[in-house]
Structure 1
Amino acid sequence: MGSLPLEAMMPLNPDSFAGESSAVVDFLADYYRNVDKYPVMANTQPGTIRKLLPEAAPELGDSMDRILDDVQRDILPGLTHWQSPSFFAYFPANASTAGFAGEMLSAGLNVVPFVWTASPVATKLEQVVVDWMASLLALPERFHFKGGGGGVLHGSTCEAVVCTLAAARDRALSKLGHEGILKLVDAWKCIEYLLERRLFEVHGLFMPPPLAHSELLECPYIY
């Protein structure tokens, strides 16, 4: 098989990064100019994308032009176009130039701030932004970090729901005591977490059935 060429060992080449990034930005700008021309719902069937892609990952990367051609031909037809002016479900039209630029900066700096020392400014920046949000929502000072409150930024509504349920559980256990866990389970047995293709709601807790995430099956209960 031989060895891979040296350029394959440089996933981020500063010399080509600017041009390739510009090509992606141009692609997205063109997409937004024409997003209203796409059908809102995906015109595809389960399994279609697997048939279009190779069985194994390529050993070497393609040019950005070829990748964007693949996206245009194979990926866009399988999307539900959330940013379409005709899309009114969930969170319609939630993109912005600031969001794009922020994601690019975050991905480019690529820090992993799982503890304060791993990237101190990331933790502090999150605290500042969360306090800004609390002020925008006119929440009392006790919800701010300086008032003994605070919070975190989540990557999705699902994460936020799980965090909210965990906080509610811990608050209830602090009143019932951990020996009262069975009372808590009984009180919450009607709340489940259900994710289907056409329905999203909080709908079950604690007792996990033997089901995994699927486009057809309920996901496990939340512990």
Structure 2
Amino acid sequence: MGKYSLTGCLIAFSLVSGGCGSSVDDLAGKGNELIEEGKEIANSEGVQDVIEQGADVVNKVQEVDATATNVVSSVSPKVQVIKNMSIEYGETSFTYNDLFKETLEHPEWKLEEANGGKFVTVTGGMKEPVISHLMNSEDAGPLNDSLVSFSDELFTVTFVFPFGDNKILPTSEISGYWNFAGTTEEFDALFALDILSGIYSSSQSESEQ
């Protein structure tokens, strides 16, 4: 078999595997087999191409698997319940989905499990208006101090909405944490949500003028 024919078959197979019942592990295994094939013919011309193509197949399959898992998680009924919960701030009413789309960069929703419990998380970077507000606001408290300290680092923020007995736990149970270039730090989620809600409400008022 030519060095490209097996790779071509694997790539084609990866495109239709969702409808054929084959597992991601099976396809990843075939990619590993291709790597081994390259090693066995180590004296053949172009062997490095074969090995690299096999490794690329494995990497692509793993990326597709991770993406598919995130997509399934993001459309979970529990995720949809949280996204569509209504928030009242002053005279403004909006959903958590509205809030995080406006204030977070590329918000990613997930349903997760730990210690026998389930919880919904939303993670994203802070949009520029939020960072500017926190940097310049005297009432930002510890959030402002943290952002100043890590202003030059890549960071994300995560809000955690827990469930108990398939019911949403009280708002007081919502938690959150920052991730600064791999370093994690908890923060007062309700305080942060209040700040974000104020920013969202102000932006909506300005857009209506």
TM over 0.5: no
The bucket for the TM-score relative to the shorter chain is: under 0.3
Q: Under a length normalisation based on structure 2, what TM-score does the superposition of the two structures give?
A: 0.27
The structure richer in helix per residue is 2
Q: Under a length normalisation based on structure 1, what TM-score does the superposition of the two structures give?
A: 0.25
The structure richer in strand per residue is 2
